[in-house]
Amino acid sequence: MLFDYVRTVLGTALERLGLNADVTVELPRHASHGDAATTVALQLARTLGKSPRSVAQDIVAAMDYDPARISSVEIAGPGFINLRFGPAYYADLFERIRAQGERFGYTERYARKRANVEYVSANPTGPLHPGHGRNIALGDSIARLLEAVGYRVTREYYFNNAGRQMQNLARSIYARYRQLLGEPDYPFDEDNGYRGEYILDIARELIAEYGDSLREETDANLAICRTKGEQWCFASIRSTLERLGVRHDVYFNEHSLYTDGHIARVVEDLRARGLVYEHDGATWIATTKLGLEQDRVIIKSSGEPTYRLPDIAYHRIKLERGDDLIVDVFGADHIATIQEVLAAVRALGYDTSPIKVVLHQMVTFMKDGVPYKLSKRSGEQYTLDDLIDEVGPDVVRFFFVMRAAETQLVFDLNLAREQSEVNPVFYLQYAHARICSVFANAREHGIEWENTGAMVLDHPAEHALVKMLAQFPSTVERAAEQLAPSIVADFLHSVAEAFHTFYHECRILGADRDDVRSTRLALAAATQTVLRNGLHLLGVRAPERM
RNA sequence: GCGCCCGUAGCUCAGUGGAUUAGAGCAGCAGACUUCGGAUCUGCCGGUCGGGGGUUCGAAUCCCUCCGGGCGCGCCA
């Protein structure tokens, strides 16, 4: 949007010269180099066998433009073409932002495309821990970003409520149940058991519900413990997600892969391709034939599949659904697994290119300058809920997406708890609240203004703000394409900065002319929209007052 | 040993192959309109972009190599 007119002018000039090239226009790093710059002459010089500067001269000579929109064109350095916007350019940008109003920033580029985003996918064996926060915030913001560029998005949660983990959960609950019933020495499996405080809570609920009628150690009673545990854990997980504004459309149960025959089909199909063999009583997949380091077990000698097998079946199903884009949000510890799974699915004859894996690195929590241990081993767990209690949902969501997924994030608990200007979330929210306050003031003083066209933009701070706002749609697209919410977080900081500077230098309500006041109010309204829409993409609230 | 990720200011991080001068925030220092929210704004201080080669008109960015850190490499998930 920012460079639409510039691109058109340059494109026409190239056409006139019989040249063919992608016109990339960028914002120069230094304001002294103008408002827009292109390196197209440098790129063309080689194939044309001419010097970049002379190519640039030809292009400039062939440019036909409105001098009110482009006030200067110059060739600089080795062959850059630098342009400066004129008043009409700003007026035009501003008008387009104003006309789009609340829809500004959302595009239709990927309309009619379907995307599936899988995230969280924690098994129901306990409350979410703080480390899950990054996966949740990333996954949900990615889903929001994809929606913003037109995708129809399904949010999916994959879980396993069978298998060894759930047996351990049932046994843990049962042991605590017996202990609470007056047998403190009843054995608790310290190695495999879940030692969290919440197990006791579940056991207490069982006593309230069943009294001591589950005392006998039968499969049926353990099954009751298991079911109770699963329900309790899922309720806990969902309530935490709810607090963060996250809701999934599909909960995919791993167990259905067995009952629907998908698991058996995967084994048969892999076997038909000569990729399966038996060894030491187990069934193996020959991943070495697929270019990986070593072969892996897919069915243990006990007859139980390993997690790999359902993962392969699950990804095959995802591909068969025909979505245009399939996003897996995983922690860095899944890297080996996902490589194996994708290699196996490819070996089954599928094109895995719709699958994009967002691997995020681990989070280190810091408190008072030292790493804060959030041990799962200790009986007392620090949960994601505790973190939300401590710093609030907005800070949790923002902190987990403000850095690129591939960085090893440091979550500074002191900074997060700080309710002041050092906290980067408040800088953005304050800008929004400030704008709301200006409008509240306008209403209070009975200031009438019309958000119509024909406005005046004179001040450099106004120009800087308009230029910033005009980049919102392309920024959202770039963030969506790169599956990188941190791009939006950075951008919003720049918007807030441009607004605060504008606010400081330009009186809005106190402007000395009515048309200037109306322009500035409209500019504030547009900034408000960008901040609100942008914060929404990150799942952070845009408060009217703080 | 192998695979993936990272290494940029004291700290946390941006940086889309581009420009004599690599940018923010925090920390530190110095300032700001008696009027719309000072949770703000303006300056200053601070860098061998981990080291070394290469590709290119041009490299923090791409390639190679070495060093350092993280995560994996289970008949756990």
Q: In this predicted model, what pLDDT tens digit does every residue of A42-53 receive, in sequence order? A: 888 777 777 788
Interatomic CA–C1' length for residue A406 and nucleotide B63, angstroms: 22
- Per-residue confidence at A380, pLDDT binned at 50, 70, 90? low
For A454, counting Cβ atoms within 10 Å of its Cβ (0-12 exposed, 13-18 middle, 19+ buried), the class is exposed
For residue A514, the model assigns a pLDDT of 85
Interatomic CA–C1' length for residue A129 and nucleotide B67, angstroms: 35
CA distance A441 to A32: 37
- The predicted-structure confidence for A22-66, as pLDDT tens digits, reads as follows 778 888 877 777 888 888 888 887 777 777 888 888 899 999 999
Q: Pick the closest to residue A416 from A479, A494, A363, A485 (CA basis).
A: A363
Tokens matching residue A286: 């020959």
Instruction: Using the CA of A360, give the nucleotide whose C1' is nearest.
Output: B5
For residue A377, the model assigns a pLDDT of 45
Q: How many CB atoms lie within 10 A of CB A207?
A: 15
> Lowest mean pLDDT: which of A68-77, A220-229, A300-309, A313-322?
A68-77
Share of residues in chain A with pLDDT > 90 (%): 62
Q: Which domains does chain A have, with CATH numbers?
A: 4-85 (3.30.1360.70), 163-243 (no CATH), 268-306 (no CATH), 421-537 (1.10.730.10)
CA distance A389 to A375: 18
For residue A376, the model assigns a pLDDT of 45
Interatomic CA–C1' length for residue A407 and nucleotide B61, angstroms: 17
For A390, counting Cβ atoms within 10 Å of its Cβ (0-12 exposed, 13-18 middle, 19+ buried), the class is middle
Interatomic CA–C1' length for residue A130 and nucleotide B51, angstroms: 37
Report the pLDDT averaged over residues A351-359. 93
Interatomic CA–C1' length for residue A510 and nucleotide B35, angstroms: 8
Q: Is the pLDDT of residue A368 over 90?
A: no
Tokens matching residue A206: 């069982």
Instruction: Using the CA of A309, give the nucleotide whose C1' is nearest.
Output: B77
Q: How many CB atoms lie within 10 A of CB A420?
A: 7
For residue A278, the model assigns a pLDDT of 93
Report the pLDDT averaged over residues A304-330. 95
Interatomic CA–C1' length for residue A337 and nucleotide B67, angstroms: 29
Instruction: Using the CA of A505, give the nucleotide whose C1' is nearest.
Output: B41
Phi then psi for residue A277, to 5 deg, are -150, 165
Report the pLDDT averaged over residues A235-251. 97
For residue A374, the model assigns a pLDDT of 63
Interatomic CA–C1' length for residue A362 and nucleotide B74, angstroms: 21
Q: Is the pLDDT of residue A484 over 90?
A: yes
Report the pLDDT averaged over residues A343-371. 89
For residue A86, the model assigns a pLDDT of 87
Instruction: Using the CA of A517, give the nucleotide whose C1' is nearest.
Output: B36
- The predicted-structure confidence for A494-514, as pLDDT tens digits, reads as follows 999 999 999 999 999 988 888
- The predicted-structure confidence for A274-283, as pLDDT tens digits, reads as follows 999 999 999 9
Of A386 and A1, the structure prediction assigns the larger pLDDT to: A386
The residue lying closest to nucleotide B7, measuring its CA against C1', is A407
Q: How many CB atoms lie within 10 A of CB A234?
A: 17
Report the pLDDT averaged over residues A204-225. 95
Q: Is the pLDDT of residue A378 over 70?
A: no
Instruction: Using the CA of A123, give the nucleotide whose C1' is nearest.
Output: B77
Interatomic CA–C1' length for residue A161 and nucleotide B45, angstroms: 58
For residue A415, the model assigns a pLDDT of 85
Helices (H) and strands (E) in chain A, counts: 20, 15
Instruction: Using the CA of A34, give the nucleotide whose C1' is nearest.
Output: B19
Report the pLDDT averaged over residues A519-540. 94
For residue A460, the model assigns a pLDDT of 87
Chain B bases closer than 7 A to any CB of the protein: 1-6, 12-27, 33, 35-37, 39-42, 57-58, 69-77
Residue A200: alpha-carbon gap to chain centroid: 35
